[in-house]
Amino acid sequence: MFLVGANRPPAPVNVSVMHLRADSATVSWEVPEGDIIIGFSISQQRQEGHMQRFIREVNTTSRSCVLWDLEEETDYIIQVQSIGLYGESQASKKVHFRTLKKTDRFPSNSSNQDDPTVQGLDKSRHLQTGEMIIIVVVLVMWAAVIALFCRQYDIIKDNDSSNNKEKAKPSSERSTPEHHSGGLLRSKFHPSVPSINIIEV
C-alpha cells in the first residue's frame, strides 16, 4: 500500500477557468513533468456546497475540459485530479468562478486561440458552415437540371403536337394535283366509242 501511494501522480497545478459563458466554461491545468498521466477527473459543485457533477476521463492526454449545462450567474467550485497508472492524485486547489448572464458577451482574448477545446468547437462550426454551402450548391444544380429537362420536354411535346395536327387533316383538304392549265388532271385515255359503219346500197 505504501508503494502504491508513493507512485501516485502529483496533483495538477495552475488550474484556471477560461471562456466563461452563461451555460459553459473551460477548465485547464498543468501536470508536472516526469509522471505518466492517463486521464483526469473533475469535481464540480455549486458554492453553497451541493455536488452537481463528477467528470472522469481516461486514455487521454488532454489538459482541458469543457463544463456544459451550467446555470447563468451561478458560483461554482471545481477541483482537478490526475489519473496515473497506480491511481489518482490528490485533488488540486479549489478554484471558484461565476457564470455570466445570457445577455453578456464573452470578452475577446488572444490567448483563447491556443485552447484546443475552443479550436475544436471552431472547427466544428466551420465544418457545419461548409456542409450547408455544399448542400445549397447541390440543390441549385439540381433545380437547374430539372428546369432544363422541363424546357426540353415542352419543346418535344410541341413538335409532336404539330406533327399530329398535320397528320390529322381530312383527305378532302389535301388538294388533288392540278394540270398546269388549272383544270383537274385527267387521264390521257378515253373510253372507247363504238364505231358506226355506213353501208351504201
d(CA 144, CA 39): 53
CATH of the domain at 62: 2.60.40.10
Tens digit of pLDDT for each residue in 33-78? 878 899 999 999 998 877 779 999 999 999 999 999 999 999 999 9
d(CA 125, CA 133): 13
Is 117 in a helix, a strand, or coil?
helix
In a domain, 145, yes or no: no
- Whether residue 15 contacts residue 40, with contact meaning beta carbons closer than 8 Å, is answered with no
Range of the domain at 86: 13-98
Tens digit of pLDDT for each residue in 121-147? 555 555 577 788 899 889 999 899 998
In a domain, 78, yes or no: yes
Query: What is the rounded (10 degree) CA torsion for 55, 60, 64, 68?
Result: -40
Structure-model confidence comparison of residues 130 and 177, the more confident one:
130
According to the model, what pLDDT value does residue 59 have?
93
In a domain, 175, yes or no: no
Model confidence band, residue 102 (pLDDT cutoffs 50, 70, 90): confident
In a domain, 193, yes or no: no
Work out the average pLDDT over 149-169.
Answer: 77
In a domain, 103, yes or no: no
Q: Which three cell numbers stand for residue 64?
A: 482541458
In a domain, 135, yes or no: no
In a domain, 201, yes or no: no
Number of domains composing the chain:
1
- pLDDT exceeds cutoff 90 at 165: no
